[in-house]
């Protein structure tokens, strides 16, 4: 029934309402959004919806074209200005907007395009990294693993590449390589970013993970959180976070920050829950994910990480 109403709405009511508003305000829908909706996620989401529902041929072509560019990860620094200019000019021409009187619209709309397709490109980038398996024969992979140890355990020397010591930072056995599994290098890069860019908070979380009663496996839980971050990114739930925080083309670093936020918050949640043992992990993770999803549903949610405030 909902579907029928939605179909009726998009096919008949929406165009009528849009026409009426256009005639009365003298502005097209995209202009009304860019002028009337606060910047950040609320505006970007509204522009995205408007573009995706558009039935104008040129707008449809523009959307397909931008999708292609983002999926092929060609939305880069060099091309970015050109692509954005092209997108803005297309909309100005199609909607017959005077660029001189509405120059602000051009700027605001361009920023939305940057976020919408930057996000789509980020999904492709993250997926690419996830598909790269950890390989002991690749020096860079090995180096990153050693770096992770160095950042997490600066006081302790690693006695060998294969060592029981890995279990102190929460890997399952003596060789972490099999633990990355389906998350591949994305899992390692996430952990490494958290450990190196948020040193004090990561140490704080690691310390919690080694608690005799409420402890958990830092690295394994971390890799499971990589999976959560990836799912939230891929199904679009994480858009609120990225659209609100990102000021330019979103990069992989922003995804790592999102991950760091999740890890820090998960640790807090775990400690608050006081689970009986590690066997409660799936339950606790499920509840945590539900909370995060609820937060992300609110377009005004702010995820400014309280990470830096806390001192260990």
Q: Is the distance from CB of 299 to CB of 237 less than 8 angstroms?
A: no
Considering the complex, state which of residue 108 and residue 262 has its C-beta at the smaller distance from another protein: 262
**Shortest Cβ 170–another protein spacing (Å):** 9
**Which chain residues interact with another protein by CB under 8 A?**
130, 167, 172-173, 178-179, 181-183, 187, 216-217, 220-221, 223-224, 226-227, 230, 277-282
Considering the complex, state which of residue 31 and residue 226 has its C-beta at the smaller distance from another protein: 226
Considering the complex, state which of residue 70 and residue 221 has its C-beta at the smaller distance from another protein: 221
Comparing C-alpha atoms, which of 43, 54, 58, 55 is closest to residue 109?
43
**Shortest Cβ 133–another protein spacing (Å):** 11
**Shortest Cβ 84–another protein spacing (Å):** 33
Residue 274 gets the label, from left (phi > 0), alpha (psi -120 to 50) or beta, of left
CA distance 241 to 5: 30
Considering the complex, state which of residue 109 and residue 264 has its C-beta at the smaller distance from another protein: 264
**Shortest Cβ 212–another protein spacing (Å):** 13
CA distance 164 to 187: 20
**Shortest Cβ 284–another protein spacing (Å):** 9
Comparing C-alpha atoms, which of 140, 145, 141, 179 is closest to residue 161?
145
Comparing C-alpha atoms, which of 266, 155, 260, 154 is closest to residue 214?
266
Considering the complex, state which of residue 94 and residue 228 has its C-beta at the smaller distance from another protein: 228
Contacts of 284 (CB under 8 A, 6+ apart): 269, 270, 273, 275
Helix (H, G, I), strand (E, B) or coil at 214: coil
Comparing C-alpha atoms, which of 198, 81, 181, 90 is closest to residue 134?
181
Considering the complex, state which of residue 90 and residue 167 has its C-beta at the smaller distance from another protein: 167
CA distance 149 to 153: 6
**Shortest Cβ 261–another protein spacing (Å):** 19
């Amino acid at each position: 029934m909902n579907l029928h109403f939605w179909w009726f709405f998009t096919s008949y009511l929406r165009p009528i309402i849009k026409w009426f508003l256009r005639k009365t305000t003298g502005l097209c829908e995209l202009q009304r959004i860019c002028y009337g909706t606060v910047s950040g996620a609320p505006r970007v989401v509204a522009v995205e919806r408007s573009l995706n529902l558009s039935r104008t041929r040129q707008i449809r072509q523009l959307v397909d074209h931008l999708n292609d560019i983002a999926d092929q990860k060609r939305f880069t620094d060099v091309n970015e200005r050109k692509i954005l200019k092209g997108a803005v000019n297309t909309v100005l021409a199609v909607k017959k907007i005077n660029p001189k009187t509405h120059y602000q619209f051009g700027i605001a709309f361009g920023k939305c395009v940057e976020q919408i397709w930057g996000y789509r490109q980020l999904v492709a980038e993250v997926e690419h990294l996830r598909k790269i398996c950890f390989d002991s024969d690749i020096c860079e992979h090995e180096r990153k693993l050693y770096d992770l140890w160095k950042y997490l355990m600066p006081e302790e020397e690693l006695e060998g590449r294969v060592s029981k010591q890995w279990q102190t930072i929460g890997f399952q056995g003596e060789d972490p390589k099999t633990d990355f599994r389906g998350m591949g290098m994305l899992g390692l890069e996430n952990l490494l970013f958290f450990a190196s860019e948020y040193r004090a908070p990561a140490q704080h979380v690691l310390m919690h993970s080694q608690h005799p009663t409420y402890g958990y496996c830092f690295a394994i839980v971390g890799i499971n959180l990589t999976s959560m971050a990836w799912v939230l990114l891929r199904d679009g739930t994480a858009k609120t976070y990225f659209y609100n925080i990102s000021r330019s083309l979103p990069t992989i670093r922003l995804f790592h920050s999102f991950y760091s936020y999740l890890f820090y918050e998960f640790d807090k949640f775990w400690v608050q829950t006081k689970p009986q043992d590690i066997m409660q992990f799936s339950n606790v993770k499920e509840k945590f994910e539900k909370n995060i999803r609820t937060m992300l549903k609110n377009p005004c949610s702010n995820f400014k990480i309280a990470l830096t405030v806390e001192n260990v």
